[in-house]
Amino acid sequence: MARNIFETLTVLVVDDSSHMRHLMLGLLRALGVGEVVLANDGEDAWAKFVIHKPDVVITDAAMPTTDGFALARRLRENASTAYNRVPIIMVSAHTEISAIERAREVGITEFVRKPLVPRALYERLVAVINRRQEAAIVAAAPAASVTFL
């Protein structure tokens, strides 16, 4: 029996809009994501991140208090932990080059434009999972042996 590649994932969704959080929840459930944790800003997300240790974070860019950029920076600055390697997908209506460059500078893994298109979210999730699996394969591969003749 084929397994859904998303069923073992825990995804943290961060958005100040209740409507967007629940839209994302519905989309992620439809994709078969195992666990979805909702947060309403970066501070709430940080607290829930520490508890749930999600595999992927999906965050809005612009939120009051602590926005998606500050959350990403905080996750990436924790170099001594696994926090800094978690894939972060940013969702934003602000798609000008400066916003995308800023997202890359703070360590955003993928960027999705609002209004959200389900196919784009699916493609970004697959991309981050594939990268994670490739990294795990490389880390688990035995060191190459060299034979001298």
- Residue 77 placed within a domain: yes
pLDDT digits (tens, 9 = 90+) for 62-71: 999 899 999 9
Residue 3 covered by a domain? no
- In-domain check, residue 2: no
pLDDT tens for each residue of 92-120: 998 899 999 999 999 999 999 999 999 99
* 94 domain-assigned: yes
What is the domain range of residue 103?
10-140
Separation CA 101–CA 89 (nearest Å) = 14
Burial letters 91-103, b for 16+ CB under 10 A, else e: bbeeeeeebbebb
Per-residue pLDDT, 89: 96
Determine, yes or no, domain membership for 53: yes
pLDDT in tens, 79-98: 667 667 899 999 999 889 99
Give me the mean pLDDT over the 13-39 stretch.
97
The answer to whether position 1 is within a domain reads: no
Which CATH number goes with the domain that contains 106? 3.40.50.2300
Number of domains the chain is built from: 1
